Structures are given as C-alpha cells and as structure tokens.
Homo-oligomer: A and B are copies of this chain.
C-alpha cells in the first residue's frame, strides 16, 4: 500500500508503507473514501513543529469498514463511517462529559492520507452514516471529520446562539466553517476577518454579514465600530498565534465569550490583561465525536454543505501538490481521492 509520509520541511512523499491491520480487538481497518490536508499539517510541513523522523500524515478521514477486531460491536464491515483525529472510548468520564479529545484512553489517529487506515477504539470513535452515501456528499462528510467539527466546537465554545453578534478570526477552512456553524446556530451579525477575496466570498456564502480586512488593534477597533462600541458577544479564534488570540480576546465584549480552536503556537496570555478583559475563554482540541451524529444528520439532510471548503481535489498520489497549494494559500483545503481499491 502507498501512503503519505513527511520526511522534513516541505519534503512530503507518497510511497510504499506497511498496510494497516487489526492489532487490537478494538481496532477497525477502513478503506479511505476521501482524505485531506489539514491546516495543522502545515505546522510540521513548514518546519515550525519539526518531525523527528519520517511521519505518516493525515488525520481526517471517512470510508468503508473492511475489517474489525473481535471486540468491536457498533460498526461492521461494509458500513460507511466517519471518525475524528483522536480515537476515544466514548465511555470514560471525560467522554461522557462530551470531551472525547480528553478521553482517558485517547490515541492520535495518523496515516489517513493513504488507501487504508487503522482506527483504534473503533466502537467509541467511528460513527456510521444511515446508508452508503451518494458521491456528492463525500466532501461534506469528510469535512465533519475535523474542520467542520472544529468550527462547530469553536462556535459552541464561544456560546453562539440566536441573534448573537459573532466575530470569526481566521479565514482558513476552520474559520470559514466557524462562519457556517454560527449561521446554523442562529447568529445575528457574523463578522469574518479576512483579507483574501476568495475566502471572503465563501465566508459570505456561508453566512457572513460583514467582512473586516484590518488586523490587530485596527481590526479590534473596526469590530467595536460594528458592535455598538462594546465588542462582539462571541468570538471564534481559528488560528493559534499570539496576534490572533489577542485580536479575539480584545474584540470580545466584557462578559462575552472566546472559543479558541487554533492549536496555540508560542501563545502566552498575560494574566492581568485577561482578567480585565472580562471574557469567557474556552477551547482546546475539538471533541468532534460529540458532534458527529448531529453533523452527519445535517449533511445527510443537505442542510449544510461544509464540503465547499475543498477548492482543490487531487488523486491521492498527488498529495504533495495539495500541501504546496495550501502552504502558498493558493488553495483553502485540498481533498485527496485514493484510487478505487
């Protein structure tokens, strides 16, 4: 089998790798219907989070179950399933509280940019669709495996609700799907902070009512102008840099909420600054598993179309082009299709 391996900065290879197999009774092996490149894959790709050794890439996936371990009860071969980047047992106290990405037995899923994938803790991790999906739904089903689930968590963590004023910091796929999530949750004004025309266009399509192109203090000032001088009720932080976190916190009104899902890189929050900002702060690795049934249902009923973030589709073997296109921001997000088995 061939799969995607990162060797070092901007050195991504599609090469022969060991075929996955059921290693534990709770494992499943799935045939990948579609995978993709994540914004977070760009951190090691760019060498900002260096990889120590050749690393199988990919953690967003959907596909058909081929084999399950003897302890697996809730999914079976032939079913179309979606999972998240952290495998979780879905039974421990943290899972039961809805924080499956803090599962006491969590395992990172890796190597999904390949033809097949081993998924640990299959019963807790995978959710099956009602039946085999039509081809045109595959991009949206793939999106909820990570980016859509993450955008949804950002909106949920920021306490988005009917009529609220929302700001989204970050116009990557997660930010854009944060806009879609806020719209779906009934937000009033949705302000997308973006400088890129194609992303602005998609943000508007997903429900953004306003675009703010300014950043930093100017961006904050512009948000305040748009929100009666006080700041937004809800701000979604979908980047993970010091600048984006500060922009999010200070664009929020006192008593408002920041939902942050951008994996922080070099972020340090000054305690006193945060204290006087008076905001609610919640975030972390999105517990996508919590939302999978609801999001599968919304996609199945064609109420949301998060697959629109894929503006580049490539055969899996051309995965390196997908990384390069996202690295240079020529593409928002690249979908990868393995050859039919």
Contact = CB atoms under 8 A, between A and B. Distances in A.
Contact of A272 (B229, B267, B272): B267
Interface stretch (A207-215, A276-284, A303-311, A326-334): A276-284
A280 B266 CA distance: 20
A134 interface: no
Interface in A85-111: 93-94, 97-99, 101-102, 104
For A228, A255, A276, the residue with the greatest tally of chain B CB atoms inside 10 Å of its CB is: A255
A99 B267 contact: no
Contacts of A279: 282
A260 B97 CA distance: 22
A18 interface: no
Contacts of A275: 260, 263-264, 283-285
A281 B281 contact: yes
Contacts of A48: none
Interface in A238-258: 240, 242, 245, 253-255
A263 B271 CA distance: 8
B255 A99 contact: yes
B281 A282 contact: yes
A253 B285 contact: no
Contacts of A268: 268-271
